[in-house]
Amino acid sequence: MPQSGVLRVRISAGGINFNNGEVMIMKKFLAAFLSVMIVMCASVTAFGATKSDVNKVVNTSVAYAFDGKYSQGGYTIANAKNFYILTKSGADVSAYKEAFFASAKDAAHAGTLTDVGTLGEIITIADKLGMNPENIDGVNYVEMLKNADPANYGASPYNYLFAAEAASAHGLTDAADAFCGKMIGFYTIGTGTDFWGGYGTSADDLAMFLITLKYGSGDYSQYTNDAFALLENTYSADGYVNYTPSADSTALALAAYSAYGNKTKADDVYKLLIDKFYDGTTGGFKADYDPYYATADAVFALAYYLPIADADPEPQQPQETTTKAETATKQATQAKKDTGKKSPATGSTGIAAASLTAAGAAIVLAISAKKKHEA
């Protein structure tokens, strides 16, 4: 008696024969095998957003928050942060450039341009616009930043990020490290930042702290490892938390992960930000208190995410008018080229297709053997 589950084939003068039970086993096996192969062929690995996806969100967000509010009165150094965010978004800021740098020059000549954050923003704006911040209307903003008092951070410790970014970009290593050192002064291992005198830490504060240290030259791993662990403690399924889940906190968490090149995590946070807070009607981001402010934070964060977002797929070439014979020849040639090619959907070699081919080959061999036996 044949063992259970074993397919037994009998060869007789009439060819290759299977009994009914064995036929059923083979049918079940082939059905299961083909089902797995179909799933493998159809599977698609989840990727992050493409650069085009991100740019579309940036463009609608700029139209909502900046064209719709912040840009309406123009820009001076009094609202340098918003002009910095707008400029880094890649938007056309030519209409505002002259007035902004005129206000910066006036403040420099008056001796009132002293806080390191505003100086950093001016320098980065100039860099982004292809200007030389060492000589704009006779003012050397890089030298001013180099000689500025690191303790003068203006209205918020967040400004150390803008100062460190500009200092690092212009080779002012000592200045960048000094700004990072001041930022660390607000941090306690295990509990995080305390920027506001007893209010404790938050996702927003931790993210800005982390991004600032990215521009220093020291080994800050003790602080960054701790800060990322605390940042994850602020995660919820509805977004990163500052009192409640918010677009601002989620956006700044995205900026932090992107700045450190953690693409897998950044992709997840980007999806969370879009799913929970993007408003397809306004083109901005939803918030309980100020959607314009939240949207500006999102634009700031997307400037960090865009460089690591997935590349756009290559555009398909327009089809040429060909005869049936030419089409058949091209298809045959392309089929040969595609053998072993990497799958764009899964990022792996065409295992599923190869497996199906192997299965087909096995069936063909069986049929051939049967025919040979019959002959």
pLDDT digit string, tens, across residues 165-210: 999 999 999 999 999 999 999 999 999 999 998 888 999 999 999 9
**Domain match, 22 and 90 both:** no
For residue 21, what are the domain limits? 10-46+322-374
Question: Which of 239, 257, 275 is the C-terminal boundary of a domain?
Answer: 257
Whether 80 maps to a domain, the answer reads: yes
What b/e sequence results for 170-179 when a residue is b if at least 16 CB atoms lie within 10 Å of its CB, and e otherwise? bebeebbbbb
Angstrom distance (rounded) from CA 324 to CA 124:
58
Q: Is the pLDDT of residue 29 over 70?
A: no
DSSP string, 315-357: PPPPPPP--HHHHHHHHHHHHHHHTTPBPTTTSSB-HHHHHHH
Q: Looking at the 3D structure of the chain, how many domains does it have?
A: 2
Whether 144 maps to a domain, the answer reads: yes
pLDDT of residue 374: 46
Instruction: Write out pLDDT tens, residues 222-261.
Output: 999 999 999 999 999 999 999 899 999 999 999 999 999 9
Poorest-confidence range of 18-27, 128-137, 356-365?
A: 356-365
Mean pLDDT, residues 81-85 taken together: 98
pLDDT of residue 314: 79
**Domain match, 221 and 104 both:** yes
Whether 205 maps to a domain, the answer reads: yes
* Residue type (1 letter), 76: T
**Domain match, 42 and 74 both:** no
Determine the distance from the C-alpha atom of residue 39 to the mean position of all C-alpha atoms in its chain, rounded to a whole number.
28
pLDDT of residue 344: 36
Question: Which of 230, 257, 284 is the C-terminal boundary of a domain?
Answer: 257
Question: Which of 257, 292, 313 is the C-terminal boundary of a domain?
Answer: 257
**Domain match, 96 and 163 both:** yes
- The mean pLDDT of the chain is 82
Q: Is the pLDDT of residue 87 over 60?
A: yes
Angstrom distance (rounded) from CA 184 to CA 32:
59
Q: Give the rounded percent of residues in the chain with a pLDDT score beyond 70.
A: 71
**Domain match, 35 and 108 both:** no
pLDDT of residue 198: 85
pLDDT of residue 274: 98
Whether 172 maps to a domain, the answer reads: yes
Task: Using pLDDT thresholds of 50, 70 and 90, give the confidence band for residue 315.
Answer: confident
pLDDT of residue 6: 43
**Domain match, 97 and 151 both:** yes
347 or 93, higher pLDDT: 93
pLDDT of residue 375: 36
**Domain match, 114 and 202 both:** yes
**Domain match, 79 and 21 both:** no
Backbone angles phi, psi at 11, to 5 degrees: -105, 125
Mean pLDDT, residues 344-362 taken together: 42
**Domain match, 340 and 249 both:** no
